[in-house]
Amino acid sequence: MGRIIIEISRYLMIICMSIYTIQCFAVFRFGNEYDRKGIYLRQNFFMVLVHFLGFVSLYAQKSDIIYLRAYLIQQLGILAILAAYRLIYPRANILIINNMCMLITIGLLILTRISYNKAMRQFYIVIGSVVVTLIVPYIISRIRFFEKFKWAYVAVGVGSLAAVLAFSRVINGSKLNIHIASYTFQPSEYVKIIFVFAIAAVLAHGHKLKDYLISAAIAIVHVLLLVASKDLGSAIIFFVVYFAMLYAASRNVLYYLIGFLTGAAGAIAGYKLFRHVRVRVTAFLDPMGNITDAGYQIAQSLFAIGTGGWLGMGIGQGAPDTIPVVAADFIFAAICEELGVVFGMCLILLCLSCFIMFMNISMKFDDPFFKLVALGLSVAYIFQVFLTIGGVIKFIPLTGVTLPLVSYGGTSVAVTCCVFAVIQGLYISKGKDNTRTPVASDFKTEQLGIVELE
């Protein structure tokens, strides 16, 4: 009987996730939040259903009452997040809220299957992060002089990364975390937001060569500190975010060429200088030929995805524990193994819909500072998704970054909640006239191929 429940739940979860994902893009047909109300309610229904079906499968397999308790606690927490945002910020963008909660839901579900204790610890971190960041949209939508603190951003960012380089312990070849008592956090995650604010402050109103050189110097210092700490995944994100913001500010295609050539040179240098980079490249090129050492992680990831196939094996029917650090770096492989590649593709599209909405919000701003902040955070988010999933499916070498809001990791979850809150604050500050449909004269974004929405 338990196996039948798991099989039925598996198919229903794929259907629910597919419908939810379709709704993510259906919102772009409408010009204001009021017209999207029905779509958002349907999303909420399918979000709750995916979570419920997942825990039905878990209970059918484990027959342990703690999973029912975990389900109730998690579901109440997610519903509380939805309610809190809607009550405190009635003008908020509901797609961003729904997608944030759906990603959290998927992450908690698969983490509960992998490790009950990790899942509940992640849940409490999520709740604490959301509670703290609930104030962020209010601050962002009310304060207009953030760009005045550019050197404070630089000092905090550089100081934090320097502290990691000086005081962090080497783990798996990299210096990533700061340990204070029993707490561990990864400063590069927080600095990601600070870095975007710093570059936006420099480039917002400065269009001279001097301003571009100053911004480049700031970016170089951040990236070199990350490289010195061997946190190459974060270094790549900072690098890409910087050149995206530089191009948006200057509209000079030459900077893209410079960025490409610099990135290629940096990749070659990293390969020559760092042994763990050579190991990851070796694993990428021939994981099966190095399955006993360098290629073990990626080989196990590919086995898991292949075993799951299009429709997955069902919650609890796979073997995600065979993949090292599956709860963090390789959680996408666990999702594909038990819920299927179709479910995984829907997850990718869900993240893409977040990026599209973030970019729409960016394009609304005439103020260059807030436009650049929204763009920088958007690129940082989607590029991190690309690095994580690309590494798991052997599209690119592994970088060791987490899947935002889904992977296990307190700092990553807290920072991503903050990123979503900042974007939400920008939307609220610019979208107070949500009932009005935008016209072509308001937002001149056709040249970028982005449809501007309220």
- What are the φ/ψ torsions at residue 328 (nearest 5 degrees)? -110, -80
Q: What separation, in Å, do the N-terminal and C-terminal C-alpha atoms of the chain show? A: 48
Residue ranges of domains in the chain = 2-143+278-448, 146-260
Joined together, the tokens standing for residue 133 give: 């960041």
pLDDT tens string, the chain, 454 residues long: the values are 678 888 999 999 999 999 999 999 999 988 777 888 899 999 999 999 999 999 999 998 888 899 999 999 999 999 999 999 999 999 999 999 999 999 999 999 999 999 999 999 999 999 999 999 999 999 998 888 888 898 999 999 999 999 888 887 776 667 777 777 667 778 889 999 999 999 999 998 877 888 899 999 999 999 999 988 888 889 999 999 999 999 998 888 888 788 888 888 888 888 888 887 888 888 888 888 888 888 898 999 999 999 999 999 989 888 898 898 899 889 999 999 999 999 999 999 999 999 999 999 999 888 899 999 999 999 999 999 999 999 999 999 888 889 999 999 888 999 999 999 999 999 998 765 343 434 333 333 333 334 444 4
Which residue's entry shows tokens 């070849």? Answer: 173
Tokens for 406, please give them. 């889904």
Whole-angstrom distance, CA of residue 164 vs CA of residue 180: 12
Residue 337, classed as helix, strand or coil, is helix
322: Cβ–Cβ under 8 A, 6 or more apart, which residues?
300, 303, 304
CA–CA separation, 168 vs 440, rounded Å?
A: 52
Q: Which pLDDT does position 181 carry in this prediction?
A: 66
Both tokens of 64, joined, read 């342990």
pLDDT at 387: 95
- pLDDT confidence of residue 260: 83
Q: Which amino acid is at 447?
A: Q
Q: What is the pLDDT of residue 454?
A: 40
Q: Are 316 and 57 contacting, i.e. CB atoms less than 8 angstroms apart?
A: yes
Round to whole Å and give the CA distance between 124 and 128: 6
Three-class SS state of 346: helix
**What pLDDT, on the 0 to 100 scale, is given for residue 172?**
65
Asked if residues 410 and 125 have their Cβ atoms less than 8 Å apart, the reply is yes
184's enclosing H/E stretch is strand 183-185
Is residue 166 within 8 Å of 174, Cβ to Cβ?
no
Q: Using CA atoms, how far apart are residues 383 and 375, in angstroms rounded to an integer?
A: 12
Q: Is the Cα torsion angle 24, 26, 29, 30 positive or negative in sign?
A: negative
